[in-house]
Structure 1
Amino acid sequence: MRNVVFDLFYTFTAALLYAAAFPLLILFSFKKKYRESIPARFFGIKNPPFRDHDLWFHVCSLGEAKAIAPILEKLGDKKIAISVITHTGYEAASKYAAQVRYLPYELWLWFWIERPKTVVILEAEFWYLLFRLARIRGGRVIALNARISDRSFPKYYRMRWFYRILLRQCDHIFCQSTEDMARFIALGATNVEVVGNIKLAQKIAASKTYPKPEGLLIVAASTHEGEEEGIIQGFIEYRKYNPSAKLLVVPRHPERFAKVGELIERSAPALSLSRWSESQSMDSDIILVDAMGELNNLYAISDIAILGGAFAPIGGHNPLEPAHFGCKIITGEQIFLQRELFKYVSHVQFVGLDRITEALMDAQEIPPSQVNGTVDLQRVLDYLTEK
């Protein structure tokens, strides 16, 4: 009875939030970034429930969608369904032999979730009604690659009464580290097991081969608002010591391509700039990579990777890909979402934007980064496929 009362209260709260946000949802649905996801998630447009399936994976975005590839490869003829939150996640998930949907807003899950068998929820996608409805409608609920960052745990712990209720709906939690396991247990979770970070099992490869230009090639990868300008200024200063160095700038989000192009023109007027979409030439001093899906191809020919998402409070990005290709990695200090992965990568420089030039100079004396670690997925696969 207590669960039913809480379900009703939670649903009522979700309905109030939906009503309050409705005007903004209409407005944002016209933005290119959300043109598909908001209509699908919040208004049910072109987003029907899954047809019959064996395993349903819920991921958030690009990184999690890519992370499940080694597991999907080993599931044989199982019928797979994948739900996502973001457009980049949808594009990545659509490459698999699977049904792909945007996960509806929680309020609509009452009408959307039917009879799941096994629901696998990646990392920190802790939506109460997703867990609850999957469970009460007959599905096993499994948290995979589960994590709680150093930064987030105090907030979770203050709400531990809520997470105790949520985690009670979870049959098993496969977490990334012993620190994560201790945090989940502190929140009231049971059946917690450490298997490591499943991203260590990813097959990392370039899809195209580009010729490496002469001189040092630096790639500023997955950059965010507030990061590019400091990286560009550091690069300009470094060019005084190494005039042949070139910089590839790869913004994380495609809707920022034009804005970053304008920023480069304004910040580095003395350097030549070209856009990848116009010519895949690397003859310019700075190349704006205004295209998706090229990062591994560019890591493969780069000497140094300045990894974004950690100079601003984003939480960092996956260092395994540049390390796999032997790039010397420079990144910021705010890696709170990727701290576990960085444990497996050697020779990384953690600096602020004001020390980019110094880090580029120091990179001459530092060995290439490399990945030192593996993960065994067999325990996860056995659990997922058991009857």
Structure 2
Amino acid sequence: MKPFTFLYFILSAVLYLVALPLLVYLSFKQKYRESIPSRFFLFNNPRFKSDNGVWFHVCSLGEARALKPILELLKDQDIKITTITHTGHAEARRYDAEVRYLPYEMFVPFWARGQKILIVLEAEFWFMLFTVMRAKGTRIILLNARISEKSAKKYLQFAWFYKKLLSNVEIIYAQSEADKNRFLALGAKNIEVIGNIKLAGKIEKTKEYKKPEVELIVAGSTHDGEEESVLKSFIEYRKQSDAKLAVVPRHPERFEAVFELMKKYADKNSLTLSRFSQNKEFKADMVLVDAMGELNNIYAISDIVILGGAFREDVGGHNPLEPAYFGCKIITGKHFFHQKELFKYVHHVQYVESDEIHKALMRCKELPPSMVEEKINLEPVINRILKN
């Protein structure tokens, strides 16, 4: 082990010991009950069964979903997937692959097995993972690679570190020219711009639900603080339009809290409220969608989508391709820095502050549905992965 790598390993071990009480505490919370024991204590998280496979590492739900068109082109390969989050892990388990949580960096040298290739998506830059896998003879590719404008200055402050990390990478497939330039500034080499691989994903519904006779507004992938703004705007909008509202929180552990918030607004304004999990219908004035994997099915019968994650400064927005595919009129916030590349391909989107949602709803009657223009060619990526 090289001196810097050894020092990094020691530092990661020290940080682990310092954080141990917090990790134990968080392990009992619903959101982390599976991921933290697996990642930080290797509980139910064994090593992969074999070497010489094709290993994909993704962070969360969106990246796991983005793998689908690629995995369909690699059906004969021994596929392995690691994730960070519970939702990403659940999505990855839907594929014909060995699925694990990526352990904390201190464990990687002992846990990871050498593979034919490691494909890391987006901005998952783990020093021990890259260094250890390269030492084991594994080729490393960065796919859908990005560095947001917001994060670029922080990366540049540690350019020497990222240059060392990225020197292990065979090729970087960047989302945009702007991302390519940011990687070049960090000292990376061999970068190609191919666009966002989420454009290659097949967007489809899995179930058919009855569309309400009135306008259906869906607040999709919402985060804490965003639901209140949506509810206030919806109450105002109801004064001019007989619409219904469905709220789909991004994280399932927030279902109960969001239901209580919706109940407060329903009671105050004499509106009916229901849970989607109980009847799979949209008869009530407001519906909490307390189920996973239903967003596309609901977009398919929706008129307007208020896309969450961009009304707060710390989330970075969510994928607009799905509601645009179904022709929904999209309203979202102005803080979509993690999805900036995808929004370039979606037309007729309203970008507003949280206190402007009502005005945006009123303008929807005059605007055309959203639409997507662009495709991506995955052939160069597949050829690179299969290269001996």
| 1:49 corresponding residue in structure 2 | 47
Q: Scaled by the length of structure 2, what TM-score is found? A: 0.98
TM-score by length of 1: 0.98
Q: CA deviation at 1:28?
A: 0.7
Distance 2:36 2:104 in 1: 9
Tell me which residue corresponds to 1:277: 277
> 1:281 offset after TM fit, Å?
2.1
Question: Paired residue for 1:347?
Answer: 348
| Residue 265 (structure 1) shift | 1.5
Letter in 1 for 2:172: I
The residue aligned with 1:332 is 333
The equivalent of 2:289 in structure 1 is 289
Query: Following superposition, which runs of at least 4 residues in structure 1 exceed 3 angstroms of deviation?
Result: none
- In the TM superposition, residue 76 of structure 1 has moved relative to its aligned partner by 2.9
- Among 10, 13, 21, the alignment partner of 1:12 is 10
Partner amino acid, structure 2, of 1:354:
D
What is the root-mean-square deviation of aligned Cα atoms in Å?
0.8
After the TM superposition, which residues 1-387 of structure 1 pair with which residues of structure 2 at under 5 Å, given as runs?
A: 4-52=2-50, 53-242=52-241, 244-269=242-267, 270=269, 271-313=271-313, 314-387=315-388
**Which one-letter code corresponds to 2:371 in the other structure?**
Q
**Aligned equivalents of 2:113, 2:209: Cα separation in 1:** 47
Cα distance between partner residues in 1 of 2:14 and 2:378: 41
Residue 278 of structure 1 deviates from its aligned partner by: 1.8
Deviation at 1:267, TM superposition (A): 2.9
Measured in 2, the distance between the counterparts of 1:160 and 1:257 equals 41
Task: State the Cα deviation string for residues 296-321 of structure 1 (Å, max 9, x = none).
Answer: 00000000000000001210000000
Letter in 2 for 1:173: I
Unaligned runs of 5+ in 1: none
Deviation digits for residues 74-130 of structure 1 (CA, Å, limit 9, x no counterpart):
013110000000111111110111000000000000110122210000000001011
Displacement, 1:364? 0.5
Contact 1:220 1:247 in 2 (8 A): yes
Secondary structure in structure 2 of the residue aligned to 1:174: strand
Q: Is contact 2:209–2:281 with CA below 8 Å preserved after alignment?
A: no
AA in 2 matched with 1:356: I
> Cα offset for 1:279?
1.9
Q: Distance in 1 between matches of 2:282 and 2:302?
A: 12
> Which residue identity does 1:195 align to in structure 2?
I
